[in-house]
Amino acid sequence: MQNVAAILLFLVSTTAWSDELFLKTADKTYLVNETDLQLISEEQHQKNRGCGGFIVTDSPLPKSTPVINQLAYSIDRPQLVNEAMGHVTEEKLLNFIEEFSSYHNRYYTSPSGIKALEDLATRWRNMTQHRQDITVTKLYHNKWPQPSVILTIKGQTSANIVLGGHADSINTDDEGNHSHAPGADDNASGISTLTEIIRVLTQMNYVPRNTIHFMAYAAEEVGLRGSMEIADKYATQNKKVLGVMQFDGTNYNGSQIKIALIKDNTDKKQNAFLGSLIDTYLQVPWGYDQCHYACSDHYSWTYKGFVASFAGESKVKEENPFIHTALDTLAASNHTATHAALFTKLGLAYVIELDK
């Protein structure tokens, strides 16, 4: 299987949930045991300094259709955006990361992984219970016990804006329900960013024109399973989605640039919009980078024909060296949330300037 380990993207499909899966690369198909997937993925990670991304689906993936982005982006709500950014509190971001990374792990089949998502749903519900236009749902998946959590702010139109991040964690050194996987950066920081955006918008009593969804995906670390199921549902129902933004690791400052916009398997036009938002509102160094694989949940949305972007905390080759281990703690970020605050502000600017 060494030749497979060199593949930057592998798609895994199965017609039944079992121990054996078909691993399909660009030119060959292999029969592998499910327990071997992370070993292959980790070997790829070490060889290429990029996570060995893979997708698990119930049936072979069809060829994707290129997305034609017809949106006309504009940046003309500075007063509202600056007000929102002024409410971002680093202390709240830090406290959430600390709390969400305190579970033994958030693995997609573990008791603590299930409890973490149920606790998140309760937190989001308590934060927004004064708003009649906000609902929080736990989406239970048929093939694993960890739910995804979705908070929805109902808008006036049928169009949707999606901000997401995965809530599970993994320790690829010792994978399983028993392993210690705090996942402070990957991805308690991304869920903290989403939570702070929700808090700021509700504190401002922001009433959107379009419906806004905040999604904490289950089972990302084992093949983008939660997000793929959700994106497939949105595609099947022909839902109109103005844009999707992914937050996966927001608190490790590993590059000279502060924000790395991933340019493969994302939308070029929306990426340029994000760059303009950074220049206008954050005024920090940013640049483009590539994953070369299905590196996070944005891939699920892109593959299903939606406009999606992924803003990374650093360049891929300069990413947090402690992710997917027991050492993914706040210590790697010097026990601060300064970097995560930047992504929170970018997320607020994205929502407010897109919601027209």
Q: Which one is catalytic: 221, 297, 318, 319?
A: 221
Picking from 229, 217, 221, 227, the residue whose alpha carbon sits closest to that of residue 59 is: 229
Query: Element (H or E) spanning 112, and its range?
Result: helix 111-127
Active-site pick, 313, 324, 328, 355: 324
Which of 168, 196, 220, 328 is flagged as catalytic?
220
Active site residue 324: yes
Q: 279 catalytic, yes or no?
A: no
Of 186, 229, 313, 319, which residue is the catalytic one? 186
Tokens of 229: 């199921």
Q: Give the HSE-up count for residue 267: Cα atoms under 13 Å, Cβ half-sphere.
A: 27
248 assigned to active site: yes
Question: CB neighbours of 70 closer than 8 A, spacing ≥ 6?
Answer: none
Q: CA-CA distances (angstroms) from residue 119 to 103, 106, 115, 185, 355?
A: 11, 12, 6, 19, 29
- 168, 185, 248, 355: the catalytic one is 248
**CA separation for the pair 158, 240 (Å, rounded):** 7
Contact 343, 333 (CB under 8 A): no
Which of 45, 104, 166, 339 does the annotation list as catalytic?
166
Token pair of 109, please? 């089949």
Is 99 considered catalytic here? no
User: How far, CA to CA in Å, does 54 sit from each of 12, 98, 259?
Assistant: 7, 29, 24
- Catalytic site residue 42? no
Three-state secondary-structure class, residue 195: helix
Catalytic residues: 166, 186, 220-221, 248, 324
